[in-house]
């Protein structure tokens, strides 16, 4: 089983004719993802990797029956791309684009939320159901089908965690990179209930970092609501206060937003925290 995407998911790609859109569309198709079309205004009628290109999201959805869109457009166009997606009967939008102004992301998120459309990202690697569907830029070859869910604020740390799990023989049900910007569409709290309800997931790994309160909120939720095992890894123990570390949201704004403070809250909630990534499989096995 999986959450959000499987082998039956029909996908359109916004920005499919661009450099990144075309490249990653090819990778997604090669992985087995059902990319049924793409969108680039003014380029309708073309094909990219065998997928038809449409001028609008509405046209693409109507012609293909897609319920999911992946966005690979430059930052200055990303808000409009998400707003256009919000006007169509989609269920999931994955925005890979980084560098969005916070206000743009907020406006787009509110528009999608109003229509009941789930957003992953922006500034994220996307999500993957190993062996079935890849929505974004995650390297498919490091993943293995299995029963461990992964939710991560960091893109590259997602890959590191997954690689360690796969080498330990622990396959994954679904892996999601949620992004590290101040405004993102789905947070730990939004996705943990989906993994809890998924019969194909036995345990979940959450990968956090400095800044914000997401990990603290997740810890409280896990303590009160989760029956499945949750383990964590927290990046940024040596990060200096007041300095942004990689992501716009990875900025310590107070003592309770440091990695050390979050680790304390997670452990107090009964969630074991790996000191180094290589410890994650052992914590899951205990």
Residues with active-site annotation: 247
Look at residues 77, 194, 67 and name the one whose alpha carbon lies nearest to residue 135: 67
* Total Cβ atoms within 10 A of residue 226: 18
- Provide DSSP, 151-207: EES-HHHHHHHHHHHHHTT--EEEEEE---SSS-S--HHHHHHHHHH-TT--EEEEE
Residues 6+ apart with CB under 8 A from 16: 22, 25, 37, 38, 39, 40, 48, 51, 53, 72
- Token pair 């090819």: residue: 26
**Distances 71 to 76, 89, 191, 232 between C-alpha atoms, Å:** 13, 16, 20, 29
Q: Which structure tokens are listed for 47?
A: 């094909």
By the 10 Å C-beta count (0-12 exposed, 13-18 middle, 19+ buried), 204 is classed as: buried
Residue 156 zone, left/alpha/beta (φ > 0; ψ -120 to 50; rest): alpha
């Amino acid at each position: 089983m999986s959450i959000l995407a499987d082998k039956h998911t029909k996908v359109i790609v916004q920005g499919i004719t661009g450099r990144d859109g075309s490249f990653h569309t090819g990778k997604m198709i090669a992985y087995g993802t059902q990319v049924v079309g793409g969108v680039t205004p003014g380029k309708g009628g073309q094909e990219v990797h065998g997928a038809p290109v449409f001028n609008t999201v509405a046209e693409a959805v109507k012609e293909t029956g897609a319920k999911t869109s992946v966005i690979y457009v430059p930052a200055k166009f990303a808000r409009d791309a998400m707003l256009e997606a919000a006007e169509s009967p989609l269920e999931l939008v994955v925005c890979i684009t980084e560098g969005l102004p916070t206000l743009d992301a907020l406006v787009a998120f509110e528009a999608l939320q109003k229509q009941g459309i789930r957003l992953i990202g922006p500034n994220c690697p996307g999500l993957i159901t190993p062996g079935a569907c890849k929505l974004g830029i995650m390297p498919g070859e490091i993943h293995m089908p299995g029963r461990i869910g992964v939710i991560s604020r960091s893109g590259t740390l997602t890959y590191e965690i997954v690689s360690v799990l796969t080498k330990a023989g622990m396959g994954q049900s679904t892996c999601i990179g949620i992004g590290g910007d101040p405004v993102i569409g789905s947070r730990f709290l939004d996705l943990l209930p989906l993994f809890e309800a998924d019969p194909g997931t036995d345990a979940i790994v959450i990968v956090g970092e400095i800044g914000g309160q997401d990990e603290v909120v997740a810890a409280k939720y896990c303590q009160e609501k989760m029956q499945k095992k949750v383990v964590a890894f927290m990046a940024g123990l040596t990060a200096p206060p007041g300095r942004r570390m990689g992501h716009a949201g990875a900025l310590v704004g107070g003592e309770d937003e440091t990695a050390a403070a979050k680790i304390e809250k997670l452990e107090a909630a009964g969630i074991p925290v790996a000191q180094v990534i290589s410890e994650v499989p052992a914590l899951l096995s205990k």
